[in-house]
Every structure is written in C-alpha cells, then in structure tokens.
Chain A
Amino acid sequence: METEPKKSDEARAAFWSANKRLISILLIIWLLISLGCGVWWVDWLNQFTIGSLPLGFWIAQQGSIYTFVILILIYAICTDRLERKYGVAE
C-alpha cells in the first residue's frame, strides 16, 4: 500500500496500537470458542446437532481446533498488511 512515509516513531506507535487492536479481537474470539463454547457452555450447546454429533461436543473436539488454525492465519495475513501500511516491515 502506497502511503506518505510517516515519521518513524509515529508510524511505530500507530502500528503498535493497530496491532494491539487486531490481537484483542482475535483473542476474544479464541476465548469465546475454546473456554466458552468448548467448555463452559458445552452442555447447553449439545441440544443442537451438527452432522450426527451434538454441537458442543463437536466444537470441543474439532471445531475449536479449526478455529485456532484460522485465527493464526488471519493474524499472519493482517500483520503482513499492517506492517506494509505503516512502513515498519523488516
């Protein structure tokens, strides 16, 4: 992305706050899916079914793991973009 080159310190600070925002969003999803849907609400979710399995059981044993992989993928892609946007890549 072609933006005006900013002052290095400002760019770094701006990158850091954008980065913290991204991390916070992804970690909230992480927490809700794993310890939330996978553990705390699992029996409530079991009243629904997915395929031939109770939903809570499936999230706990499979769905959460797929979510984790996707979360890291999103983080890697978005951080690449953020670094380019703020001109702070290596």
Chain B
Amino acid sequence: MNLATALFEAVADPSRPWTFAFIGITFGAYLLIGWRSRVRETRGFYVAGQGVPAIANGAATAADWMSAASFIGMAGLISVKGSDGAMYLMGWTGGYVLLALLLAPYLRKFGQYTVPDFVGTRYASSSARIVAACCAIFVSLTYVAGQMKGVGVVFSRFLEVPLEIGVVIGMFIVAFFAVLGGMKGITWTQVMQYFVLIVAFLIPAFAIARILTDGNHSVPQSAFLFSDLAERLNQIQIDLGFDEYTQPFTSDTRLNVFCITAALMFGTAGLPHVIVRFYTVPSVRAARWSAFWALLFIAILYTAAPAVGMFARYNLLNSLHEAKIVETEVVDASGGDGGRTLYRLESPKGEALDWAYNWQATGLLSFEDLDESGTISLAKTSAEATIDKDIIVLSTPEVAGLPAWVIALVAAGGLAAALSTAAGLLLVISSSMAHDLYVQFVDPEASEEKKVMVGRLMIVLAICVAGWFGINPPGFVAETVAFAFGLAAASFFPAILLGIFDARTNRQGAVSGMVVGIAFTAFYILGNQWDTIFSVTRDVEFVRPWYMTRWFFEISPQGIGTVGMLLNFLVTVTVSRLTPPPPAEVRQLVEDIRVAG
C-alpha cells in the first residue's frame, strides 16, 4: 500500500490519523535530539562523554532495557502462562540487584568504553578481549532480531504498512541518531523514549483497571491485589477446562521455572548493552544511584504488566468465548490453498467485535468454527481461536473499547520500546567491532576521526544485519530474546564478577570459563531449538539426526544458561588455581576498582 492510499484509508479508521500523528511527532523528536547531540570524539561516541546525570541515565537504562519483548510481548506471555509468568517479571528485574551491588560501581571506576575493554585489561589478554567482543556481538545480535520484528508488527497492524517497509523505516530512524550521536545521541533519545513508552503503557492499564473493577480501582497494581478479578478469572479458567490462573508450575516444572528465572536474572546482569550504560555517568556514586533510578523506572512498568496480563486474559475470555459469528469472508483465495477465512464476530452481549476482525488481517489472530456451531468456543478442548501472544497488549485498548488516540499511543509506545533497545544493542555491536576488534588489532594507530568514522560505519553495518533479521525473524519475540540471556549469563557474568571479587582469577581461567560456558549453552539451545530458531520444520531429512532432546535433567533451553554459568564459574575458578596468579599490575587494578576514592 502506498502512502496516499494509507492516508485515504485513515479517514475510515478513526485511530489511523492519531497513529500517524503520534508516530510522526515522536519520530520527529528522536531525529531532533539525535541531530542536537551529534558528536565528534570517541569518548562522546562510546560513553556520552561520561556526563549523563544519574537520574537521566536511570531513565535511559530503563528504555534501553525495556524492549519490544517487555512492552509488546511480556504481558501477553504472562497472560498465557498465568502464575509462571513471574519468571519474566522477576528475571528481568532481579538482575538489577546483582548489577547494582556486584558490577556497576566497579566497572564505572574502571571507566573504559566497553565490556570487552574491562575483560581484556583485567585479564591482560588480547584473546580474552576477542572472546568477550565476540560474545557481545553474538548476544546483542540475538537480542536485536526481536526488536526489529516488534517494529514490523507495530507498523503492519497500525499503519497497514507491509512488515518489510516498517522495518526499513525503523532502521532509518535508529541509524540517524545512532550514527550521528553515538552513545550521546542514543542516551538522550532513550530518555525521551522512556517517557513515551511508560505513558503509552500506563494510560491503557489505568483505563482497563477502572473499567473491569467498575471504577473501584484506577491503579492497576491495586486492582490486581485488591479486586476480585483474580477469583473471577480463576472461575472462568476452570469452567473452560484450564488450570486456575494463580496456579504455579502449569507451564513448566519447578526446576525449570527456577532455572529460567535464574538465567534471566544473571543474564540481565551480564548483558553488555545494559552494563555499558553505567560507563556514561560522571562518578561511581552516580553509577549506584542510577541503578536505583533505572530499576524504579522499570518497576513502574513491570508491576503494571502482570495486572495488564491478568486483565487482558479476563477480558479476552469474557468477550470472545461464545462470540456469535455474524459473517465470514474468504481472502487470499487466489493462492490455490483455499485462502484464509476472516470472521466478523459479535460478543455474547451482542456488541460488534471490530478489533477481532481487524487483527485477523495481520495473521496474528485466527478463528475456525470447527464444530460449525455458529459460535467461537475458547474452551481448552475446542481450540477454535488461535491468539498470538504478541497481540495481547497491542489489542487491549481496542478490546476494552478505549478511545482511538489511546490505541495510537500504544503503537508509538511499542515503537519507542523497540527502537530504544535496538539503538543500545547496535552501539554495543558497533563498539565491539570498531573499538575492541578493529582499533585494537587492525589499526592501533588510528586517529580520533578515523576511530569515530569506523564506529559509525559499524553501526550502519549492524543496522543492516538487524534489519535482515527483522524481516526474516527467527521465532517468537520474547522467546528469542530469552536465549540471549542464557548466553550472557553463561559468558560475561562470571568473568566480570570474579574479575572484581576474586583477585586470584587469571587469564587462563577466565578465557576457558567463557568458552566452556557459552559453547555449552549455545550447543544445548541450538540442539533443542534449531527448528524454531531457523523457522524450518523438523522433518528435513539431513538435519533430523541433529535434533536433541532436553538431555540435561530435562532443563529447558531457556533455563540452560544457569547451568552454563555454573560450569563457567567452576572452570574459571579451577583453571585459575592450577595456573600462575595474575601479574602485579592486574592485582593493583583490582585493588583500585574496588574502592571509589
């Protein structure tokens, strides 16, 4: 669809002009901020000149952190997983305690540009730096793919732009402020993006809390705790043949929920794009306080998300179960496979369900009246509706019948979340390639201008790779991201932690630990998940023999990072004790970073 048709159709859909307006205004603001914070030297490009105040860095970290998965995917995942959804809530916040107490202040005292910088210097080793840089690139690429898919989903639903064009528009916006402003541009756009995404998340959350509790509770967190919604939902779940919503361990075993939660927490603490944010503040004290601000800002969304997940589930079951089929139409029939059937539905109370019709066009929601009863059943045994988890947050305002501008605001918020995280990740990929690999090993004599130029080029290259992943997405947003955490937990976390707290850890230990940790974890994940990661079926003849089961105590691939991390610790500590202690200047460095003054 070209822009003119899109604008023409905007007249028909009341939320479309608002969506154009909000996305136009926010994108314009990001471009303006990017232009105003352009930089010329490496310190500005990689660590924003270390001049970001603690509270601003907190907001930037929160936006950097809260991705398309947090904004679009997480409440939906919780809504499907029920009680076990807590693994994402705790996993993606609990890591900040580790980060604040164990890593951030010391890395800020060290004060270089990247995580591989610390690893390379602490272990006095080029090979450690290369291993760390490759881990950073690998982890960040896995993660950035999910963001670009998120951008595509938002564009394809709210502007009915094809997914590919949506991804390309997103790439262009990120490229503009990241290439010009580096970390400085990214930081100040992220501060702005935090406000866009938190407002976009909270307004519908407050509205839906009010609607579902008949005006008794406006604050989602208190509606969650005090209203009788949980009881009502539990009852509906049982009536439809599901487990109670508040029943734990329905989606996985206790051991797996434990391992996944732990992998997400330790992974959060080891993610380079989060750690590097703490290099941008002016002092060690500011690093500690900005960790507090970051988690406070994150907690505002993360305590509202389980409420939204629960409300959305209640609302969805309530309005879709036994919805009457008013009309069906077959589309895309020319393909020869009979096409898809779109359903126009009416709720049991007789209201037209336009949102359900609109979302079918994206392919993320589909119905099939299997028993030809003329109604859609959501009971566990009937499976007449297929609901993609990604649409739960995005459709909530429409399901709740909120005004058109709220729907548009959610679209702008989803884009802010995806773009801010993508930018942070792209900077890590660029700095790993330009600062840690190119300047260190290829051209150590490079001038300041040349270093920044290489950094900018690498961002462009990384954006192209990310865009390709966005158009050919590997699997489901939040699950794809979840693997990045296992990899980060198994590689960086032990190397950095022991680098600060155990002076005896040496180069041999750290390198072998990182290699063993990431190799084991990647091997296990790929072995179990290659079909979803590469979007192929398991029936391909020559790959079938490579498929593995959950051979390690039946631990799921999402939780295996916890085991990879323990292996890393074990290998690092053992090998370090069997080889000579690190040189005197390294021991001096460890002494130095432990204390601020």
Q: List the interface of chain A (C-beta within 8 A of B).
A: 12, 15-16, 19, 23, 26-27, 30, 34-35, 38-40, 42-43, 46, 50-54, 56-58, 60-62, 64-66, 68-69, 71-73, 75-76, 79-80, 83, 87-90
Is A39's CB under 8 angstroms from B283's CB? no
The 10 A-B residue pairs whose C-beta atoms are closest, nearest first, are A60-B86, A51-B225, A61-B306, A88-B597, A57-B246, A72-B100, A76-B288, A72-B292, A51-B226, A12-B595
Complex formed: what's the CA distance from A30 to B385 in Å? 40
A12 — which chain B residues lie within 8 A by C-beta?
Answer: 591, 594-595
B422 on interface, CB distance cutoff 8 Å: no
Other-chain contact of B96, A40, A42, A52, A72 (Cβ < 8 Å): A72
Q: Mind listing 24 A-B residue pairs with CB under 8 Å?
A: A12-B594, A12-B595, A19-B594, A27-B97, A27-B101, A34-B94, A39-B258, A46-B248, A53-B224, A57-B86, A60-B83, A61-B224, A62-B221, A62-B225, A66-B303, A69-B292, A72-B96, A72-B292, A72-B295, A75-B101, A76-B292, A79-B288, A89-B597, A90-B285
Is B254's CB under 8 angstroms from A39's CB? yes
Is B595's CB under 8 angstroms from A15's CB? yes
State which of B61-69, B227-235, B366-374 sits at the interface with chain A. Answer: B227-235
Q: Which of B161-198 contact A (CB under 8 A)?
A: none
Q: How large is the interface on B (under 10, 10 to 19, 20 to 34, 35 or more residues)?
A: 35 or more
Q: 7 other contacts beyond A16-B595, A69-B292, with CB at 8 A cut-off?
A: A39-B86, A53-B230, A57-B246, A60-B89, A73-B292, A88-B597, A90-B285
Complex formed: what's the CA distance from A12 to B594 in Å? 9
Complex formed: what's the CA distance from A61 to B303 in Å? 7
CB B456 to nearest CB in A, in angstroms, measures 33
Is B288's CB under 8 angstroms from A88's CB? no
Q: What DSSP secondary structure best describes chain A's contact surface?
A: helix
Is A62's CB under 8 angstroms from B303's CB? yes
Complex formed: what's the CA distance from A88 to B93 in Å? 30
Chain A, residue nearest B283 (CB): A90
B90 on interface, CB distance cutoff 8 Å: yes
Q: A60-B89, A88-B596 are in contact. Are A69 and B296 (CB under 8 A)?
A: yes
1/0 per residue, CB under 8 A from A, across B215-248: the answer is 0000001001111101100000000000000101
CB A81 to nearest CB in B, in angstroms, measures 12
B295 — which chain A residues lie within 8 A by C-beta?
Answer: 68-69, 72
B206 — which chain A residues lie within 8 A by C-beta?
Answer: none
CB A39 to nearest CB in B, in angstroms, measures 5
B292 — which chain A residues lie within 8 A by C-beta?
Answer: 69, 72-73, 76
Is A65's CB under 8 angstroms from B303's CB? yes
B291 on interface, CB distance cutoff 8 Å: yes
Complex formed: what's the CA distance from A30 to B295 in Å? 14
1/0 per residue, CB under 8 A from A, across B82-93: the answer is 010111011001
Q: A52-B225, A57-B248 are in contact. Are A68 and B299 (CB under 8 A)?
A: yes
B289 — which chain A residues lie within 8 A by C-beta?
Answer: 76
